[in-house]
Amino acid sequence: MLGHIINIDLPLKEDHNFTNKLEKPIPTPKRMDVEKVFHMTGGIGKTSYAKNSSLQKKASDKVKHIIIQTVEELYLETSPKSFGIADLGCSSGPNTLSIIKDIFQAIQGISHKTMHQCTEEFRVYFNDLPTNDFNSIFKALPEFHMLLRQDKKNGVPSIYMGGYPGSFYGRLFPNSYLHFVHSSYCLHWLSRVPSALYDEQGKSLNKGCVYISESSPEVVPQAYFKQFQEDFTLFLRSRSEELVEGGRMVLILLGRRGREQVDRGISMLWKILSRSFSILVSQGEIEQEKLDSYEVHFYAPSREEIENEVRKEESLKLERLELCEIEKSDQSMESYGTKVAMAIRAIQESMISNHFGERILDKLFENYARLVHEEMTKEDIKPITFVLVLRKI
Residuewise pLDDT in 10s, the chain (393 residues) = 444 444 444 444 444 444 444 444 444 445 679 999 999 999 999 999 999 998 888 888 999 999 999 999 999 999 899 999 999 999 998 888 999 999 998 998 888 887 777 788 999 999 999 999 999 999 999 999 888 877 565 567 889 999 999 999 999 999 999 999 999 999 999 999 999 999 998 899 999 999 999 999 999 999 999 999 999 999 999 999 999 999 999 999 999 998 999 999 999 999 999 999 999 999 999 999 999 999 999 999 999 999 999 999 999 999 999 999 876 655 666 688 999 999 999 999 999 999 999 999 999 999 999 999 999 988 888 899 999 999 999
Secondary structure letter of residue 198 according to DSSP:
B
Distance CA(346)–CA(48), nearest Å, equals: 6
Phi-psi region of 284 (alpha: psi -120 to 50; beta: other; left: phi over 0): left
Q: Within a 13 Å sphere around the CA of 160, how many CA atoms are in the beta-carbon half? A: 12
Would you say 306 and 255 are in contact if contact means Cβ atoms under 8 Å apart? yes
Task: Kindly calculate the radius of gyration of the chain based on its CA atoms and give it in whole angstroms.
Answer: 21
The residue among 214, 221, 211 whose CA lies nearest residue 294 is 211
Cβ partners under 8 Å of residue 88, min gap 6: 127, 128, 168, 172, 181, 182, 183, 186
Is 100 in contact with 94 (CB distance < 8 Å)?
Answer: no
Q: How many CB atoms lie within 10 A of CB 287?
A: 12
| First vs last C-alpha separation in the chain | 34
CA–CA separation, 235 vs 135, rounded Å? 26
CB 209 within 8 A of CB 193: no
Within 8 A by CB and 6+ apart from 107, the residues are 71, 72, 75, 83, 119, 122
Find the angle CA(246)-CA(60)-CA(267) to the nearest 5 degrees.
Answer: 110
- Coil, strand or helix: which one is 129? coil
The DSSP code for 31 is -
270, amino acid identity: W
* 250 contacts 389 by C-beta, under 8 angstroms: yes
Tell me which residue of 212, 197, 253, 208 sits closest to 386, measured CA to CA.
Answer: 253
β-strand pairing of 384-392 with 243-255: antiparallel
d(CA 16, CA 39): 24
22 by Cβ neighbours in 10 Å (0-12 / 13-18 / 19+) ranks as exposed
